Amino acid sequence: MDQANIIQQLLRGVDEIIPKEDFLDALTSNKSLTVKLGFDPTAPDLHLGHSVVLNKLQLLQQLGHRIVFIVGDFTASIGDPTGRSKTRPALSAEAIKAHAETYAQQVFKLLDPHKTEIRYNSEWLGGMTAKDLIGLAAGQSVARMLERDDFAKRFAANTPISIHEFLYPLLQGYDSVAIDADIELGGRDQKFNLLMGRTLQKQYGKSPQAVLMMPLLEGTDGVQKMSKSLGNTIDIASSADEMFGKILSISDTLMWRYFDLLSSRTSAEIATLRQAVAAGENPKDTKIQLAKEIVTRFHDESAAEAAASNFHARFSKGQLPSEIPEVTVVSSEPSLPLSYVLKQAALVKSSSEGLRMLQQGGVRLDQEVVAENLALPVNESTVLLQVGKRKIARVKLSTED
């Protein structure tokens, strides 16, 4: 793609840019920009929610800018309070180290390893003295920190806020000072932290960075943001078959959001796909195109074709019983525990039996063995559930009778 098309792709789906004019001027100048994106290694794998911003980082890399991916090994020891209703439990140094190594490997599924700097923020934060930290905090007030929505809610509810949590946005912001960032990317939930980077750069006599924020991608439940703690992720390190199957499990409505935020197709191409579905084309066929594209990105084209063939073989070539009972489970909840759905579908006698069968590896979801009590989205989608060799049902999770 030429520069104009790359910029068009870069701006698609963006939630907010601050300040937008400066950002666009910088992109069209001949200046090489330092672009920053950071993740705390709080879980072992990156997922498609992370790739929303990683995709934008990849486009900026194609424009020739300096890309710095920061692994927040130091800030992970504090824990990002964003969106938290209580203090995040501390991770062990061993877990942080293991996760950090995984992150550094996985980003190269999207970024050019020869043109990407991987930095750990313990490089500059780990050597800070008490005097340095006091100087960093001196420019900010408690009132400013309480402007954060999550802090304000916890303060109003008389829920404890630990002093170290106030330090988190300061330390993330200082990352921008340390590497002289021109642009920082992040999710919209990170707005306070991202703007703190601008504030601290000015405090330290540097030019403030521009900020590009992306919306949060809903997970497979179709309701809540993709998160390991919610069990609704599609991990970028997962197998081609697992990735393909999970993408096929999302609702037809959510599919278009995935196209907008994850696909490298142009807006015009996506509009053509929408028109085809509106005209009567089976949305499943369109979803298969999306799944193939994403699996190809994180594996390769042959793996995507094999995953599609495997999926077709499992569900279309008679490898299942010819007659499978169909059950509808109705709920007003956004998601339901798998053990509960098994009971409602009469595949087990109780939720506790469902949990036991999960632990024993006796439950299959869409032909894949699952051992976790996943939260299944109530989004009008249908899943194939099997307990043991003989109990099987197609279960539609619906909000209406």
Look at residue 72 and tell me if it is in a domain. Answer: yes
Tabulate helix, strand, coil % of the chain (nearest 5).
Answer: 50, 15, 35
Quick one: 270 and 306 in the same domain? yes
Q: Indicate if 293 and 359 belong to the same structural domain.
A: no
Residues 151 and 294 grouped into a single domain: no
Q: What is the pLDDT of residue 53?
A: 94
d(CA 10, CA 288): 24
Instruction: Please indicate, yes or no, if residue 336 is contained in any of the structural domains.
Output: yes
On whether the CB atoms of residues 345 and 395 are closer than 8 A, the answer is yes
Residue-by-residue pLDDT tens, the chain, 401 positions: 677 888 888 999 999 999 999 899 888 888 899 999 998 887 778 899 999 999 999 999 999 999 999 998 898 887 666 555 555 566 777 888 888 888 888 889 899 999 999 999 999 999 999 999 888 888 888 888 787 777 788 888 888 777 778 888 899 999 999 999 999 999 998 898 899 999 999 999 999 999 999 999 998 888 888 887 777 889 998 899 889 988 988 888 899 999 999 999 988 999 999 999 999 888 889 999 999 999 999 999 999 999 998 888 766 554 566 567 888 898 888 889 999 999 999 999 998 899 988 888 889 888 788 888 988 888 877 888 999 877 888 888 887 65
Range of the domain at 394: 320-401
CA distance 87 to 93: 18
Concatenate the DSSP letters of all residues of 195-261 into one string. Answer: HHHHHHHHHTT-PPPEEEEEPPPB-TTSSSBP-GGGT---BTTS-HHHHHHHHHHS-HHHHHHHHHH
Q: How far apart are CA 353 and CA 346, in angstroms?
A: 11
Alpha carbon separation from 90 to 80, 165, 312 (Å, rounded): 10, 11, 44
Q: Tell me, what CATH number does 52's domain have? A: 3.40.50.620
Residues 209, 295, single domain; the answer is no
How is residue 33 written in tokens?
């920009």
Whether 371 contacts 361, CB under 8 Å? yes
> How many structural domains are present in the chain?
3
Q: Which of 202, 227, 252 is the last residue of a domain?
A: 227
Cβ neighbors of 189 (< 8 A, separation 6 or more) are: 82, 83, 216, 225
Residue 214 lies in a domain: yes
Residue 233 lies in a domain: no
Shared-domain flag, residues 13 and 140: yes
Query: Taking the model in full, what pTM does it have?
Result: 0.73
- Is the CB of residue 54 less than 8 Å from the CB of residue 107? yes
Domain boundary, last residue among 205, 227, 249: 227
Same domain, 199 and 178: yes
50 and 26 fall within a common domain: yes
Residue 142 located in a structural domain: yes
Task: Decide if 198 is inside a domain.
Answer: yes
Of 319, 341, 360, which marks where a domain is finished? 319
Q: What is the pLDDT of residue 318?
A: 45
Give DSSP secondary structure letters for 262-316.
H--S-HHHHHHHHHHHHTT--HHHHHHHHHHHHHHHHS-HHHHHHHHHHHHHHHH
